[in-house]
Amino acid sequence: MSKTPVQFRHNGVDVAVFVDGGANLLTAIREGVGDTAPKFGCGQGTCGVCTVLIDGEPHLSCITLAEAVAGRSVETADGLKNGPDLHPLQRAFMEHFAAQCGFCTPGMLMAAKALLDKNPAPSRAEVVEAIGGNICRCTGYEPIINAVLAAASAGPGRQRA
Amino acid sequence: MLEFRKEYFADERDENLNEIGKPTQRQDMVGHVTGTTTYFDDHKLAGLLHLKVLRSPHHHARIRGIDTGAAERAPGVRRVIRGADVPRNLNTLLSLLNFGKDDEPTLAVDKVRYKGEPVVAVVAHSEREAFEALAQIRVDYEPLPAVFDVEEALKAGAPVVNETYPKNSFEYHGRYDHQKLRFGDVERAFAEADHGLEERYQMSPIEHAPTETNGCVAAPETNGRYVVYTCAQGLFFSLDTCAKILDVPSNKLHFVGGTVGGGFGGKVDSLTEPLAILGAMLTGRPVRYVLGREEEMQFGSPRGAERIYVKDAVMRDGRITARKVTSYFDSGAYTRLSSYAVIKCAAHIPGPYTIPNVHADVYCVYTNRVPATAMRGFGVTAVDFAIECQMDKLAHLVGIDPMEFRILNAYRDGDMKAHRREAKNTALIECVQVAAEKAKWPIREEFRRMSSRAGGGGARAAVPHTPGTPAGGARPPAPQRTTYDRPPQPAQAPIFEPQKPSPSPPSPRQPTPAPATTQHGAARFSSVFGTRRR
């Protein structure tokens, strides 16, 4: 099968991968770049475990054509921390027990980051709306919502960070 | 944060807990929040091949022929696998502990028994090439009549789903078609009861829907072994199952797992491991077999549906005097773990209540549905739902508050359970009291003061005459009492007398001597041995 080169910015670093025609961004990130933080859950854009940010906007990488991100900036949960320092969202997820099996967590974190980057003091309803496309089957929505609120720089649950 | 109600059974517990009640960070949490936790599909293996499976479009059909010629010649295909390629193409999961007969093929050969049953596997360079090859396989099916209803399946003349069990029911002890529970004389109790209530409860199959679908990657190791990265919930259970199906010693398999992207019971069946390892054996390359979401939802085993009939006898004062249950567990086309679920169901009847006459028949039934498997308390959750619905209806029938009705009928320490075991360390009354308090649900003072430790035993400890069972010898020797058990309480209250104020709870016993400094193993693991409290 003929391959197409795609170049984009991945967590702040320029990368180039070869993809099959019709390949999705999730495959390009996991197999091409080697970043396995985004997960495969459904392949049809319904579960949210593959959520990444493209130019700051949350997208479902399993239904995004890899070639569509040429020249754009892609962020995944693997790029959240700053050196050894965890992002406030990561710390809040840890402190609030907002992960159980962990499979939805990378997608949840990116959906939450997209929200907080735009709206540093979201209401609970806005948090619920922001993670509305991300399914958690261990059913930890309440701790996840509390974690996002706590991480918000001016959120009502703010304690640290 | 969890709340600990230490006032309950305070005299039965040492205050030497080092971890319980204190928050502890999970050791896998940093991996989860940084996206670096390694699930089975996160291993990168050079030369990885992909395995996909052709599934039956019929609920029940004879296979007259399979033509894989075009698929074998299709681009990218490395190997086509058929039933004849599987070394031991018949297995049942619990055969590892000698329970049940081998009844399920890895790849169907003569017949398909449910829609979605695997028939042929293709190993190819890419998933796409595997799918394209599957589309070129021709299977000649002769559709057969199918049965989807548990009671229909047990009728004479019903289609035989699984020839291993021609009566469409699992065989217990080589001869019984169901699990039986007999305690006392329910028919007499029904004749003498003030009210009777019979209801039918029908549960649906439930899909676990883990965010990570079932799958694994198997690869040859350099030492003649095969490494398997898998989401299996029972890693060694799966290892031994694969060793049996592939007819290799278990030390030829190296399973790596324990990191599961949501399981809930749906990842104990070894749905993918045997074929992935076989693919690796036949191609000499790493083979990845992951279910797609549609496969997971449609053909990954669900919680089995149950149909439960409950008939109860109740007196005007609220005493339940008899409970008769007939239950059918829909195992689907193969046994997997349903035979065990049925045993759990029978062991759970009549629920956490002391009822002097109990009668239950529980069937494990084969139908042309997707085989069922484990899911969170399977075998117990459904019958609990039925029993608790029934409790509400009974309370309404006799005009008693449903919380008080449960306290009234709750088992207490020293009572004889329908399984002829003494009830020990019971706490339903306390649970209902706390639930009522939390829900701000008013219950009368006398019910607030009742205790699991008082009022049990005595006449309630007797095994009643049970028609059809040998007299006298019905009661097994009492299980050995240990120092960790509660001492037997004298029968303080008449059996069921809600109108009279119940005796006040016994005053706490004299403080016991200070607990030994070293923790006895039997105390540490007391929950395992059923001696939970001292």
**pLDDT interval class at B512 (50, 70, 90):** very low
Contact criterion met (CB < 8 Å) for B212 and A39: yes
Every domain range in chain B assigned CATH 3.30.365.10: 147-206+302-400
**pLDDT interval class at B476 (50, 70, 90):** low
pTM of the model: 0.89
Confidence (pLDDT) at B500: 44
Residues spanned by the domain of A108: 88-156
CB-CB: which of B35, B42, B211 is closest to A77?
B35
Task: Please state the domain count of chain A.
Answer: 2
Minimal-distance CA residue of chain B relative to A95: B25
A74 touches chain B (CB under 8 A): no
Which residues have C-beta within 8 Å of that of residue B85, sequence separation ≥ 6? B107, B278, B282
Minimal-distance CA residue of chain A relative to B295: A42
Which residues have C-beta within 8 Å of that of residue B47, sequence separation ≥ 6? B285, B286
Contact criterion met (CB < 8 Å) for A138 and B37: no
Residue B504 has pLDDT above 70, yes or no: no
CA pair distance B176, B359, nearest whole angstrom: 16
Residue B495 has pLDDT above 60, yes or no: no
For B135-189, the pLDDT digits (tens) are: 999 999 999 999 999 999 999 999 999 999 999 999 999 899 999 999 999 999 9
Structure tokens at B471: 């007299």
Percentage above 90 pLDDT, chain B: 82
Question: Which amino acid would we find at residue B227?
Answer: V
For B311-322, the pLDDT digits (tens) are: 999 999 999 999
Helix (H, G, I), strand (E, B) or coil at B320: strand
A109 within some domain: yes
For A10-34, what is the mean pLDDT?
Answer: 96
Based on the fold, state whether residues A74 and A92 are members of the same structural domain: no
For B234-248, what is the mean pLDDT?
Answer: 97
Average pLDDT along chain A: 93
Confidence (pLDDT) at B532: 43
**pLDDT interval class at A145 (50, 70, 90):** very high
Nearest CA distance, B151 vs chain A (angstrom): 33
A41 touches chain B (CB under 8 A): yes
Q: B147-206+302-400, what's its fold?
A: Aldehyde Oxidoreductase; domain 4 (3.30.365)
Percentage above 90 pLDDT, chain A: 90
Based on the fold, state whether residues A63 and A30 are members of the same structural domain: yes
Element (H, E) at B290: strand B287-290
Based on the fold, state whether residues A62 and A9 are members of the same structural domain: yes
Based on the fold, state whether residues A99 and A73 are members of the same structural domain: no
A21 within some domain: yes
Domain boundary among A44, A78, A112: A78
Percentage above 70 pLDDT, chain B: 88
Q: B42-144+208-299, what's its fold?
A: Aldehyde Oxidoreductase; domain 3 (3.90.1170)
A127 within some domain: yes
A141 touches chain B (CB under 8 A): no
For B103-125, what is the mean pLDDT?
Answer: 98
**Predicted ipTM?**
0.94
A8 touches chain B (CB under 8 A): no
For A41-53, what is the mean pLDDT?
Answer: 97
For B196-223, what is the mean pLDDT?
Answer: 97
Confidence (pLDDT) at B372: 97
Q: How far is CA B42 from CA B234, B238, B274, in A?
A: 19, 20, 20
Based on the fold, state whether residues A61 and A119 are members of the same structural domain: no
Residue B516 has pLDDT above 90, yes or no: no
Helix (H, G, I), strand (E, B) or coil at B27: coil
Q: Cβ-count burial of B166 within 10 angstroms (0-12 exposed, 13-18 middle, 19+ buried)? A: exposed
Which residues have C-beta within 8 Å of that of residue B59, sequence separation ≥ 6? B114, B115, B146, B148, B368, B369
Contact criterion met (CB < 8 Å) for A137 and B262: yes
For B266-292, what is the mean pLDDT?
Answer: 98
**pLDDT interval class at B355 (50, 70, 90):** very high
Confidence (pLDDT) at A159: 42
Residue B307 has pLDDT above 50, yes or no: yes
Task: Output the DSSP codes for B456-470.
Answer: -SGGGGPPPP-TTS-
CATH number of the domain enclosing A108? 1.10.150.120
- Taking residue A10's Cβ as centre, other Cβ atoms within 10 Å add up to 24
Q: Which of B1-10, B70-79, B493-502 has the lowest mean pLDDT?
A: B493-502
Which residues have C-beta within 8 Å of that of residue A125, sequence separation ≥ 6? none
Confidence (pLDDT) at B475: 54
CB-CB: which of B32, B208, B213 is closest to A99?
B32
CA pair distance B336, B312, nearest whole angstrom: 32
**pLDDT interval class at B398 (50, 70, 90):** very high
For B47-51, what is the mean pLDDT?
Answer: 97
Average pLDDT along chain B: 90
Structure tokens at B501: 């104020």
CA pair distance B168, B146, nearest whole angstrom: 12
Confidence (pLDDT) at B471: 63
Confidence (pLDDT) at B481: 60
Structure tokens at B120: 């042929």
**pLDDT interval class at A158 (50, 70, 90):** very low
CB-CB: which of A35, A46, A105 is closest to B32?
A105
Nearest CA distance, B317 vs chain A (angstrom): 41
Based on the fold, state whether residues A73 and A96 are members of the same structural domain: no
Confidence (pLDDT) at B38: 97
